[in-house]
């Protein structure tokens, strides 16, 4: 019998990133409208540090996934649902890589270097260029709304499987449940 | 031996006085005044767009040199629009009450080679402090070029009152970098 659940490290990475990304999204929305203050500078730094962490985690997650492919979707699932599920997952991975990169590039273009935890300076990939910085800020926001939409679809699909289809698909990602 | 030395001395003196050029005419277009603040440990570049220097510097007589600088604080580029708006306000420069910062030299001391030390009084926001800055002098294309740097403690000038006085977000040390270009005044003395 083939494995029907994700591996524990894959589960850990999934839930850790879920919390981190939702927090990052909320913090990003909140902080960008604040008037300039020491607190704003702190929040921006924390957002950047958490964003770099998310970037490192998604790379780790991709590397893990290459060695540990996810369990196959149930054979009874309609083809379109499988395609949609794969499409959403691939796009989400793409955005999870692209979003922190866009944030990093935007910081460089705005002239604010990213220094991880205030200790490890990341190289500036772009030199200071205000219009480019503003463009990248829009890109960063746009990509985030894209990922947020995917997350909504992802959660809605999971709930649909759990509550309507009652196929217990969610157990694949829950560490505390027994294998069926 | 003695006549030779005298001759050498005479040649040096002659060539020295032949080269004696005083750099007096400030070239605003080629001069820059930059600063680096540290926000959450991250260096952030800024500069001033409008400033004027009045100077007289003869490399053969540095001790007689003088320099004065007037800086339009509202011409600040603090790194972002947000910061530009903030830094002219009351907690920082308070440009309404104190539009100009000034520096007036009191001594210029040669340190050997092309190195010098500039000392003088810096006034920002009604507060005056003595500052010293090492600088280098070189001649390029007939102009005199002065490059120097020093560290200003922002709280010495009450820059960043109230919530901003917390030094863990914006550090007290602000590095100032000046690059002053001046043309030679006509003829050596």
For chain B, domain boundaries? 21-184
∠ CA B44-A118-A27 to the nearest 5 degrees? 90
Give percent helix, percent strand, percent coil of chain B, each to the nearest 5.
20, 50, 25
For chain A, domain boundaries? 8-173
Please state, in angstroms and rounded to a whole number, the distance separating the CA atoms of residues B178 and B22. Answer: 19
Mutate to test the interface with B, among A35, A41, A49, A115 (most CBs of B within 10 A): A41
pLDDT of residue B90: 95
Among all residues of chain B, which has the CA nearest to that of A46?
B40
pTM to 2 decimals?
A: 0.84
Mean pLDDT calculated for residue range A39-47:
96
Among all residues of chain A, which has the CA nearest to that of B83?
A36
- Where are any strands of DSSP class E within B7-99? 23-26, 32-39, 42-48, 51-56, 66-72, 76-77
Written out in words, the top-level CATH class of the domain with range B21-184 is: mainly beta
∠ CA A115-B42-A95 to the nearest 5 degrees? 40
What is the Cβ-side half-sphere exposure of residue A166, based on CA atoms within 13 angstroms? 0
Mean pLDDT per block of 10 residues along chain B (189 residues) reads 55 51 94 96 95 94 94 95 93 97 96 95 97 96 95 96 94 97 72
Q: Which of A60, A64, A71, A61 is nearest to A5 (CA)?
A: A71
The yes/no answer to whether this complex scores an ipTM above 0.85 is no
Among all residues of chain A, which has the CA nearest to that of B163?
A38
CA distance B44 to chain A (A): 6
What is the Cβ-side half-sphere exposure of residue B8, based on CA atoms within 13 angstroms? 5
> What percent of chain A lies above the pLDDT cut of 70?
96
From 1.10.3720.10, 3.40.50.1970, 3.40.50.1450, 1.20.950.20, which CATH number describes the A8-173 domain?
1.20.950.20
Q: What is the pLDDT of residues A72-100, one digit of tens each?
A: 999 889 999 999 999 999 999 999 999 99
Q: Cβ of A111 and B43 within 8 Å?
A: no
């Amino acid at each position: 019998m083939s494995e029907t659940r994700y591996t524990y490290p894959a589960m850990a990475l999934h839930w850790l990133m879920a919390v981190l990304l939702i927090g990052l999204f909320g913090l990003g929305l909140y902080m960008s409208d604040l008037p300039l203050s020491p607190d704003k500078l702190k929040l921006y730094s924390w957002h950047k540090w958490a964003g770099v962490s998310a970037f490192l985690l998604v790379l780790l997650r991709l590397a893990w996934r290459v060695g540990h492919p996810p369990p196959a979707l149930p054979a009874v699932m309609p083809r379109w649902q499988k395609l949609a599920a794969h499409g959403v997952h691939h796009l989400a991975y793409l955005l999870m890589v692209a979003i922190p990169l866009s944030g990093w590039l935007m910081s460089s273009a705005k002239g604010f270097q990213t220094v991880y935890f205030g200790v490890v300076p990341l190289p500036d990939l772009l030199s200071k260029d205000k219009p480019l910085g503003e463009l990248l800020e829009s890109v960063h926001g746009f990509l985030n709304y894209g990922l947020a939409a995917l997350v909504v679809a992802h959660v809605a699909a999971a709930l649909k499987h759990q509550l309507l289809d009652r196929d217990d698909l969610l157990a694949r990602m829950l560490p505390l449940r027994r294998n069926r | 031996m003695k006549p030779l030395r005298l001759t050498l001395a005479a040649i040096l003196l002659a060539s020295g006085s032949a080269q004696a050029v005083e750099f007096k005419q400030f070239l605003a277009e080629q001069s820059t005044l930059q600063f680096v603040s540290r926000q959450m440990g991250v260096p952030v570049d800024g500069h001033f767009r409008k400033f004027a220097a009045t100077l007289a510097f003869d490399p053969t007589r540095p001790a007689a040199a003088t320099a004065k600088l007037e800086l339009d604080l509202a011409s600040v580029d603090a790194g972002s629009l947000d910061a530009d708006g903030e830094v002219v306000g009351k907690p920082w420069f308070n440009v309404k009450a104190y539009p100009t910062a000034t520096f007036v030299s009191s001594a210029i001391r040669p340190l050997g080679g092309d190195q010098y030390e500039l000392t003088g009084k810096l006034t920002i926001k009604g507060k005056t402090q003595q500052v010293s800055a090492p600088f280098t002098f070189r001649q390029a294309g007939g102009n005199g070029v002065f490059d120097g740097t020093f560290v200003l403690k922002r709280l010495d000038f009450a820059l960043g009152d109230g919530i901003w006085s917390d030094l863990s977000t914006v550090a007290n040390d602000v590095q100032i970098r000046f690059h002053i270009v001046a043309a030679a005044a006509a003829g050596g003395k």
